[in-house]
Structure 1
């Protein structure tokens, strides 16, 4: 089993080495931007919902991202089977976010991720949620034969030992790429392996390249959703566990992560968020007659400052304090504003829910942030 986790030898002139160096350069800037933290976190939550749709779609779920926005709520137990699959993935990502970034990856954690992912599902469920498989399985449309169930626990122990190893910074992305493939290669569960492997990879990214940066980790599912066929083909090239196949898979994975980190850094720039993302979405609400001039000005003020309080809006919303209170309450009831953490009289934009969310999705798509898999939505 040790050979599976020997880091492949790399040609210094290879595209993979160049991409790894580029990631090192980019990640030095993670967490250094001026976008208000609450704004960034909520954009991350919106992006996580989109990535949950992508992860489910890779497995054959055809729910559109807009259907998910319209119908999904905060409970992982609601909705039809396809919606529940998406909600489960999103809720499990939030569960991972609640863990200490440096928490080790354990059998208990992996099985808990699986239990949450398949909870209550019919078509994409598992008869033994949260338990490694105890039967032989085959992977549809794949020549790879997963190891016998008798060795799954031992195989996963070796994988987790490797995933928890402390690697030099320049090796961490390669470590993550290898671990993702080996998880899929082991195929430890009867169903749900793809969804769990992507969340496992997300957990690895939190504890390595995003550790102690103070920002939520990049969800790597975007990489896999850009071209599902290329993703599967790249994975299959590594199934012989050779250096050449593993490097080919790692090149696919690392190039995608490099491009997504570059996009993430743009979201850290408040000017970009204002001018290119949220600002145009607010303008489209006003243009379509869904917000008045005063409402638009209020929402724009919240965008630019991150948080506003009623007293800040005297010039934007003239009149009495009670009038402004009713005005703000109306925006909150329409899920355009929400209470901020600073206190009951402080407000910020609602980005991940409400009328702004689908317009932000369209802007993210226009800016090239969304996988091609969602292009027909």
Structure 2
């Protein structure tokens, strides 16, 4: 493996070192919170859509996050326009990654598959050869970097995969992931879609490292890529010279974003915070908007408190017969406010990643400062 993949040795008094310590401290808190796992999983799915909007917006897609959460993943089949299809493709690629065993190595086949899934059916941001490395030399618009010749792409990605799959101690893993992200973009293995695939590749690496032993879905980094598009591009370009100074500058930018995202994730694992500051206010907003009745809100708050319920668990908030409770639950399911839980067909949980609650949660996350700046004007 060549010097492209030599980890830099940051000075002990650099900005990077305390950031790496903070990331390790926050990583230890993953999975230790009080929020019900079902709620954490639903919030993860919601953030998948948020991150997919961010990834597409970096490439010039101006679909709002509200339009995305209200449209993508709806129960009925839809044909999306090109902008929504781009976001939907990214969402589905993330969901696909979540089905894979994180202990498996990252491969050429996975990289090409992610590309095929990402550009599938797209016009504006498609690729004439989905799932295939480029067979021509390219230039990057607005950048002074000239990617390697197409002849070397397969070999370059082989080196990248060897580096990405190498087991490293925890204190080096954040530098490993950041370096791999830059080198992927630097190689520019596809004619189009490189940025979107590089961010999916980074997510795949996070599943193998930071989250490998935590038993929770991986963080899809939003602050790294979404706080400031110009700063993200500039930080990436600072590493194009392949020297230690520029590489440390990029890794510092990356680690700061991961630190911020992990801090938010740890906060979302606090059930009291989720109930009082996030989901509870979203339910109250639905009632003020006339979408929920007071009785509906009471039922949904009971489900929020329990995480997963059976019909009999709601007897105190849905008085009457079992058939009356079933009718109320069926109505909430049909309106996208509840969904069946993984425990079985007669178990229910809140639907947070889609349906009426999703857009109110996005609004509330924005008010709490949990959404990146790239989505500020939505």
Q: TM-score range by the shorter chain?
A: over 0.9
Distance 1:276 1:77 in 2: 33
Distance 1:282 1:221 in 2: 25
Q: How big is the shift at 1:38?
A: 1.3
Q: How big is the shift at 1:328?
A: 1.2
Deviations 1:273-322 (A, max 9, x none): 11111011011112222211211110000000101222122221212221
For this pair of structures, how many residues does the alignment match? 377
Deviations 1:223-252 (A, max 9, x none): 211100000111111001000000001111
Contact 1:55 1:195 in 2 (8 A): yes
In the alignment, what sits opposite 1:284? 285
TM-score, L = length of structure 1: 0.98
Q: CA RMSD in A?
A: 1.3
In the alignment, what sits opposite 2:58? 58
Distance 1:94 1:76 in 2: 18
In the alignment, what sits opposite 1:306? 307
In the alignment, what sits opposite 2:361? 360
Q: How big is the shift at 1:326?
A: 1.0
Distance 1:78 1:103 in 2: 34
Distance 1:89 1:145 in 2: 26
Distance 1:76 1:119 in 2: 17
1:25 matches 2:25 = yes
Uncovered stretches (5+) of structure 1, i.e. residues with no partner: none
- Structure 1 stretches of at least 4 aligned residues deviating more than 6 Å after TM superposition: 74-77
Farther off after superposition, 62-71 or 232-241: 62-71
Q: Equivalent residue of 1:308, what SS?
A: coil
1:347 matches 2:341 = no
1:271 matches 2:272 = yes
Deviations 1:321-343 (A, max 9, x none): 21111111111111111122222
Distance 1:133 1:221 in 2: 28
Deviations 1:52-97 (A, max 9, x none): 0010000000111111122223699831111000000000000111
Q: How big is the shift at 1:119?
A: 0.5
Uncovered stretches (5+) of structure 2, i.e. residues with no partner: none
TM-score, L = length of structure 2: 0.97
Contact 2:43 2:353 in 1 (8 A): yes
In the alignment, what sits opposite 2:217? 216
Contact 1:337 1:348 in 2 (8 A): yes
1:246 matches 2:243 = no
Distance 2:272 2:32 in 1: 14
1:3 matches 2:3 = yes
